[in-house]
């Protein structure tokens, strides 16, 4: 069945890089997404990657996709306190609703 797995917590020091990992199960997923949820707010789309890409970079964000291992990662360079949030990985298996992971809570220590 469809399942998206990610670790629940990550703690990093301000200025370091953060790497949030995710594994998914459906190889037919054409797009994979990263969402950010700040306290008291809804989910905000951060970035997405098409399944025929290995990497996508957007300013401080780098998404890496290993389609063979069904592994997706989000790297945040120079992590700031404002990056503290919950990060959700999601896959889109065909024309069905997105399947979300349970979210990784990123804590940034000043």
Partner 1 sequence: DADVTQTPRNRITKTGKRIMLECSQTKGHDRMYWYRQDPGLGLRLIYYSFDVKDINKGEISDGYSVSRQAQAKFSLSLESAIPNQTALYFCAPMGTGCTDTQYFGPGTRLTVL
Footprint on this chain of partner 1 (rule: CB under 8 A): 8, 30-31, 33, 35, 41-45, 48, 88, 92, 97-98, 100-103
Least distance between partner 1 and beta carbon 97 (Å): 6
12 versus 86: smaller Cβ distance to partner 1: 86
Least distance between partner 1 and beta carbon 40 (Å): 8
Given a contact cutoff of 8 angstroms between Cβ atoms, the answer to whether 18 and 105 are in contact is no
Least distance between partner 1 and beta carbon 93 (Å): 13
* Closest to 59 in 3D by CA, of 38, 30, 80, 87: 80
48 versus 60: smaller Cβ distance to partner 1: 48
42 versus 110: smaller Cβ distance to partner 1: 42
Query: In whole angstroms, how far apart are CA 29 and each of 4, 65, 73, 78?
Result: 12, 12, 15, 30
Give, in degrees to the nearest 5, the angle at Cα 90 between 19 and 94. Answer: 140
């Amino acid at each position: 069945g469809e399942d998206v797995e990610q670790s629940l917590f990550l703690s990093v020091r301000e200025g370091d890089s953060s790497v949030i990992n995710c594994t998914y199960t459906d190889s037919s997923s054409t797009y994979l997404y990263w969402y950010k949820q700040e306290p008291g707010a809804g989910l905000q789309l951060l970035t997405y990657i098409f399944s025929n890409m290995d990497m996508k970079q957007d300013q401080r964000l780098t998404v890496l996709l290993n389609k063979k291992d069904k592994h997706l990662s989000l790297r945040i360079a120079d992590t700031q306190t404002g990056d503290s949030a919950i990060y959700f990985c999601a896959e889109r298996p065909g024309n069905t609703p997105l399947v979300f992971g349970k979210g990784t809570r990123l804590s940034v220590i000043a």
